[in-house]
Amino acid sequence: MKLIRIYYILMKYLNISEERIIEIVKDIWLWNLERDCIFNDDNLDNKLIIEEIDEYKNALKLYNENKRDSAVEVLDGLADIIFVIIGIKLRSVFYYYPGNKINKYEDILEVMLSLCPKELLSYVDPVLIAVIRSNNTKPKEKDVNGKIIKGENYIAPTKEIKLLLDIK
């Protein structure tokens, strides 16, 4: 099964069950399917993952400089990376992607999870739920580059993440 390494990585770092991972994968696949994001687009995939990694790295830098209020951005960024990489991986199940590209994304996922401060790892699963819920408020429209726009009804996950972390 092509998703086995993703399962392993998520179980290893997040300590969540296979059933929970299946729910996450199903939710991400449905999101992509509903928005016609099921075809390979190497350029878009690379842009999305680079954008998410940059946001995550900036949030980690602030967090590591003792700016603990940036925990929201760290978790949101990590959840976005998981969301994007699982989407890419799912498309690879149905459409051809070179194996080295998929391995690269799996390696990125593992590195990003390994960089997450240990005290935040237990929040990743509920934050991922919040991000999926937030992403579901996005419309089906895409910008000129193929990225789903946020739209006027978009609800950012920030408030929900702050509640999880008990940040006011």
Query: Tokens standing for 86?
Result: 């699982």
pTM for this model (two decimals): 0.91
At residue 67, the pLDDT reads: 81
- 3-state SS class at 95: coil
* Rg of the chain on CA atoms, in Å: 15
Per-residue model confidence as pLDDT tens digits over 71-114: 999 999 999 999 999 998 888 776 655 555 667 888 899 999 99
- Report how far residue 158's alpha carbon sits from residue 74's, in angstroms, rounded to the nearest whole number: 11
At residue 53, the pLDDT reads: 96
Query: Which of the residues in the chain have pLDDT under 70?
Result: 1-2, 94-102, 168
At residue 110, the pLDDT reads: 93
CA distances from 82 to 97, 112, 125 (A): 18, 9, 10
The parent domain of residue 97 ranges over 4-165
- Report how far residue 95's alpha carbon sits from residue 16's, in angstroms, rounded to the nearest whole number: 28
- Count of domains in the chain? 1
Q: Any bridge partners for residue 148, and if so which?
A: 142
Name the one residue in this structure whose structure tokens are 């999926």: 132
